[in-house]
Amino acid sequence: MAGASMIGGLGLAARAQSAVTKPRDGAADVLDVAIVGAGLAGLTTARDLNRAGCQSFVVLEARDRVGGRTFNHDLGDGRVSEAGGQWIGPGQTAVVDLARELEVDTFPTYYAGKTVFLAGDARLAVDLHGTFGTDEKIAAKLNALARDVPSGAPWLAPNAAELDALSVGDWLAQQAIAPADRVGWDATVLLSGGATPAQMGLLHFLSMVNSAHSDYAQLDSIKDSAQETRFVGGSQILSIKMAKELDAHLRMTCPVRAITDWDGEVVSLHTDRGVVRARRVVMAIHPALCNRIDFSPNLPNERAMLQRHWPAYTPGRKTAMVYARPFWRDKGLNGHVLQAGGPVLWAYDNSPPDAAIGVINSFIQNGAVPSDPELATRMLTAIYARALGDDALTPQQYHDVDWGTCDTWTLTCVAAIPPRFWTTYGKALHPPCGRLIWSGTETADIWAGYMDGAVRAGHRSALQVLNSLGAHA
Amino acid sequence: MTRRIVIGVVVVVSVVAIVLGPQAFDYLRFERNLADAAKASEADGGAWPQRADECTLCHGHQGDSVNQVYADLAGQPAEYLAAQLHAFADGHRASPFMAPLAMTLNDGDVDRLSAHFARQTATNNDTFAPDAALSAQGKHLSGSCAACHGDRFMGRDRNPRLAGQGYDYLLAQMNAYADNTRSDPTGAMNALAAALSDVDRRAVATYLASYPVAENVEGDHESN
C-alpha cells in the first residue's frame, strides 16, 4: 500500500519522531519544515510528516483556500462540479489509496449513450463506448515509442534528443493523417497534454503515454482510462479533508514573496504575514510559480533557466452548466459534445452520482467565449441545444473558471512541455537546491501533471525531508 | 465518363445510406465540413498543424478574441506584433504566460505569426456593453491617441490598434503603464497613463473598446 502508511512501514516513523521533534540549537522560532503550497502535493507531505510524528512544520498557502488546481463549484444541496483536475484512472494507485484513507468514495464518469460531434452545420451522434474514437494504428505507434521514455525523467530516454527535436504535430504530419481526422488529434493532444500539436513536445507526450502503461487508450479514453472515475464530493474534497487534519499547521492567504539563505542551515521565507524560518523547505508549487519568488542568493543557473522557460501558457478554461436534470440521458445521449474548431473543445456529463441534477462541464477556448457570464451562457447553451436538444436553453446555474485569470496563484493547467525543453532543462527538475526540496505533481515519477502525480510527489518529498533531517540530527 | 462518376457516387451514397441509415447523410456532411475547414485553414495558415493554433486558444478564432481579457491580434500591425513577441521573450514586457511561449519562437516563427495575424480581419467588439457616461468621458480624453495609434485608432507601425480591443485588456495595459510594470520604449504611454486617474483610465478603455473597427464603421462614430 502506497501512501502515508509507507512511512511507518519503512520504519521511518520512529526515527523521525526522535529526529524531528528533538530540540535543536538556535532560536525557538525555527521550524523543521516549511511547505509552500496547500495543494495535493503540499498537503500530502504535511500529512505524512504529521503521521510520522513531526509537529514542527507549517504549510504556507497564498490563496484563501486549499486544493491548488482542484476546485469544487458549490451547486447547492451538497452537490459540486469540478473546475480543475477531477478524474482518476487505472494505475493511479497513490491517489486512490489517499482517498480510501480519507474515506472519500468514487463513482464512474458517465458515458453511456451517444457522443455528439459538431462541425459547422453538421451534427453527428455516435456511440463511442467510452472512447474518443482514436485511430488505433497511430496509437499503437505512440505506444511503441513510449515504452522507452521514462515517465518521470523523459530526458533519459535512449533516443531523447531525436524525439525531443519534434513536436507531436511534426510527428503526426509524418503519419499522413486524413484532413477529416486532424481535428480529432488537435482535440486529444490539447485535452490530454495541454497544448496544440505544433506546440507540444513529442518526448513529453510520450512520457505521458508511458505513465499510462504505454497504452494510449489508458491516457485519452474514459472507459478503463485516465478519465474513468470521479470522487464523490469532488476532487477538492481530498485537500479539504487533509486540511482539516492539519488545521493548526496551515497559514492561509500567506503568499511567499522571497526566500533567503536557502543555501544555509536555516532558510527564511518572507510572507505577507511575516517571516517563517525553517531548516527544510518543500516547494510544492509548479516551477513557473517559483518565478514569483525572489530567491537570495540566486538559484543555480540551470534551475533558474528551467523555471524561466517553464510553459505556463495553457491556462485552461472550464465551465459548468447546471440543469434541473440530465435530460440528454433520456434521448440516449451521454451529454458529451466535441465541436470541431471550438469554441467548445469537449463538453461532458458531470452530473453528481445521484443524477438528481444535470451538469454539463466544458473545456472551452478561453478567447472564443465572452468573459461576460450572461453572454457566455447564451453562446454555450445555443451550442448545447444543437447537440442535446432545446432543454439545454434553460439552465439553472452557470459557473466559469479561467485558470489564467481567476487568481494569480495558478497561471496554468497541466505543463504543456514544448519540443527541446526536457533535453535542455530537464536535469534541473529534481535535484534539491540547498535546503529547498522541489515537489509538486510535475516532479512525480509517474502520472506527473495528474492528481496522482501530486500525491506521489507529496509522499516522496516527506521521505526526502525526514531522511535529510534524520541524517543531520 | 463524368456520367459514370456521378452514377458511381450516387450508388456509393445509396449503399452508405442503406447500411448506416439516415445518419449516413449526417456523416457525409460532417466529413465534408471537416475537409472544407481543413482546406480553408491550409490556404490561410499553411500545412497542418500550425503554430498559430496555440495563439488562438486565448486570442480567439483567427486572433479575434470575444473575451475582454485577452488581446485581439487580428488586424494588428505586423511590426507591432513582432515587437511584442520579441519583448516578451527578452523580458522587456513581463507576462508569465507570454514569456515562456515567446521564448519557444525563432525569428522566422515570429515573422510568420505576426504576418498571419496582421492579415486577419478585425471585427467590432460586440461582446462589450459600454457605459454611456464613461464612454463620453473617454471620448473627451482619447483625442490625442490617434496621433500615434492611427486614424480611427486602427494602429500603425509599432503602435497597436485600439479600436474594438478588449476592455479589460486595455485597462490592464494602461494600469501597467501607469505603475511602470509595462514600459513604452518612448516613455510616452507611461507618462500619459500616469496622468490619468483610475476613472479616466476606465473611461478611455470603455470608449476605445466600443469604438468600431474601420472596416465596419457605419456612419460617423465621432458624431454619435
Identify the pLDDT of residue A396.
Answer: 98
ipTM score for this prediction? 0.91
- Closest approach of B166 to chain A, Cα-based (Å): 10
If pLDDT is split at 50, 70 and 90, which confidence band does B24 have? confident
CB A113 within 8 A of CB A330: no
Ordered by where they begin, the domains of chain A are 2-67+235-299+433-471 (3.50.50.60), 108-132+221-231+317-402 (3.90.660.10), 138-213 (1.10.405.10)
Please give the sequence-ordered ranges of beta strands (E in DSSP) within B49-134, or none if there are none.
Answer: none
Q: What is the pTM of this model?
A: 0.92
Q: Which three cell numbers stand for residue B195?
A: 496622468
Q: Is B197 on the interface with A (CB under 8 A)?
A: no
Q: Which three cell numbers stand for residue B214?
A: 474601420
- Decide if A196 and B97 are in contact by the 8 Å CB cutoff: no
pLDDT at A458: 98
Percent of all residues in chain A with a pLDDT value above 90, rounded to a whole number: 89
- The strand pairing partners of A275, in sequence order, are A270
Residue A16 has pLDDT above 80, yes or no: no
Report the percent of chain A where pLDDT is more than 70. Answer: 94
A117, A173, A198 ranked by CB distance to B51: nearest: A198
Q: Using CB atoms, pick whichever of A124, A167, A372 lies closest to residue B30.
A: A124
CB contact under 8 A, A308 and B100: yes
Residue ranges of B 161-180 with Cβ closer than 8 A to chain A:
168
The reply to whether residue B61 touches residue A342, judged by beta carbons under 8 angstroms, is yes
Q: Do B33 and A173 touch (CB under 8 A)?
A: no
For residue A172, the chain B residue with the least C-alpha distance is: B49
Q: What is the pLDDT of residues A83-101, one digit of tens each?
A: 999 999 999 999 999 999 9
Q: Which single residue is written with the C-alpha cell 471537416?
A: B34
Q: What is the pLDDT of residues B161-215, one digit of tens each?
A: 999 999 999 999 999 999 999 999 999 999 999 999 999 999 999 999 999 998 7
A to B CB pairs, distance under 8 Å: 147
Preferred mutation among B26, B32, B34 to probe A, highest tally of A CBs within 10 A: B34
Peptide bond into B49 cis (omega under 30): yes
- Alpha-carbon distance A159 to A297, whole Å? 36
Q: Which of A310, A370, A404 sits opposite B66 (nearest CB)?
A: A370
A330-354: pLDDT as tens digits: 999 999 999 999 999 999 999 999 9
Q: Cα separation of B156 and B146, whole Å?
A: 10
Whether residue B220 is predicted with pLDDT greater than 90 in this model: the reply is no
Q: Determine which helix (DSSP H) or strand (DSSP E) holds A362, and give its type and residue range.
A: strand A358-364
Q: Which residue, chain included where needed, has cell 544555509?
A: A264
Contact state of A182 with B65 under an 8 Å Cβ cutoff:
no
C-alpha cell at A316: 485552461
For residue A91 the three cell numbers come to 494505475
- Put simply, the answer to whether A180 touches B51 (Cβ < 8 Å) is no
Q: Each residue of A382-429: pLDDT tens digit?
A: 999 999 999 999 999 999 999 999 888 998 888 899 999 999 999 999
Residue count (chain A): 473
Give the model's pLDDT for residue B224.
Answer: 36
B59-104 pLDDT per residue, tens: 999 999 999 999 999 999 999 999 999 999 999 999 999 999 999 9
Give, for A169, the enclosing helix (H) or strand (E). Answer: helix A168-173
Q: Does B30 touch chain A (CB under 8 A)?
A: yes
Q: What is the pLDDT of residue A25?
A: 47
